[in-house]
Amino acid sequence: MATKIRLQRHGRKGYAFYQIVIADSRAPRDGRFIERIGSYNPNTNPATVDLNFERALYWLQVGAQPTDTTRNILSREGVCLKKHLLEGVKKGAFDEAAAEEKFQAWLKNKQASVQAIKEKDSEAARAEAKARLEAEKEANKAKAEIVAKKKAELAAAEAAKQAEEAAAAAPAEEALNNSCDAKIKKRTFFNALFFYAFSTSYRIFLMRIIDQPDAIA
């Protein structure tokens, strides 16, 4: 029976994830399978692979054919390299210790590469966040300037309105003050005149009482 290592789709539209399965090559893509050996989620960054390394290696060794996508996954996980090294051991190119040493060197290099990618992505994310924060600061600064300008314009308009109202009220106030001053002056004049007339009449009255005709003249 010809077997294939392929992906079986799960999830919803726009967010699909996959099971890595061993299936009969004649079976439907998402139909029955012989064994599940892992999962693949391309929605994360980087993509998440959960793989049973030993079972994937076994099926490769017994002739299961991976699809293009699963071949890439198995290569990234080192399964294809491990199969190649074991074939080299069988052919006598090197012993198992040398094969394991080569595999561990590859694995160490891969982990360093993955860590470098993660650090690069993290640095890019920090730079993006910093740029976004700076953009927000600039936007807030521009908004604050617009608000301050608007407030200044409103204050200037209010001051101009008050000045205009004060200028319009000044002539009326001045006329009222002048009218009050005239009334006060008139009242003062009549009071003085009345006092003078009263004092003169009183003097004459007193002179007549004490019978001083010369003083009256």
More confident residue, 117 or 36: 36
Strand order in 3-12's β-sheet? 48-51, 35-41, 15-24, 3-12, 65-66
107 and 156 housed in the same domain: yes
Domain termination residue (choose one: 91, 108, 124):
91
pLDDT digits (tens, 9 = 90+) for 3-21: 999 999 999 888 999 999 9
pLDDT at res. 111: 86
Mean pLDDT over residues 73-87, rounded? 94
Q: Which domain holds residue 68?
A: 3-91
β-strand pairing of 35-41 with 48-51: antiparallel
* Cα–Cα distance, 165 to 167 (Å, whole number): 5
Higher pLDDT pick, 199 / 211:
199
Question: Are 94 and 81 contacting, i.e. CB atoms less than 8 angstroms apart?
Answer: no
- Residue 211, judged by CB atoms within 10 A of its CB (0-12, 13-18, 19+), counts as exposed
The answer to whether position 189 is within a domain reads no
Q: Are residues 23 and 77 in the same domain?
A: yes
The answer to whether residue 80 is domain-embedded is: yes
Residue 52 is predicted with a pLDDT of 96
Q: Parallel, antiparallel, or unpaired: how do β-strands 48-51 and 65-66 relate?
A: unpaired
Q: What is the pLDDT of residue 217?
A: 47
Average pLDDT, integer, range 92-105: 92
Contact present, 49 and 76 (Cβ < 8 Å): yes
Buried b (16+ CB within 10 A) or exposed e, 54-65: ebbbbbbeeebe
**Residues 36 and 111 occupy one common structural domain:** no
Average pLDDT taken over every residue of the chain = 85
Taking only the tens place, the pLDDT of each residue in 38-79 is: 999 999 888 899 999 999 999 999 999 999 999 999 999 999
Q: How many angstroms separate the CA atoms of 9 and 20, rounded?
A: 9
Mean pLDDT of the region 147-159: 89
| 171 and 130 belong to one structural domain | yes
The answer to whether residue 24 scores a pLDDT higher than 70 is yes
pTM: 0.56
Does residue 215 fall inside a structural domain?
A: no
Split into its structural domains, the chain has a count of: 2
Q: Is residue 210 part of a domain?
A: no
Same domain, 121 and 157: yes
Domain boundary among 91, 106, 126: 91
- Between 144 and 197, name the one with better pLDDT: 144
Tell whether 193 is covered by a domain: no
CATH of the domain at 7: 3.30.1320.10
Residue 82 pLDDT greater than 90, yes or no? yes
Q: Can you tell me the distance from the alpha carbon of 37 to that of 22, in angstroms, rounded to the nearest whole number?
A: 7
pLDDT at 216: 45
Element (H, E) at 31: none
Q: Are residues 84 and 112 in the same domain?
A: no
Write out pLDDT tens, residues 174-198.
766 777 677 777 777 667 666 666 6
Q: List, in sequence order, every beta strand (DSSP E) within 42-116.
A: 48-51, 65-66
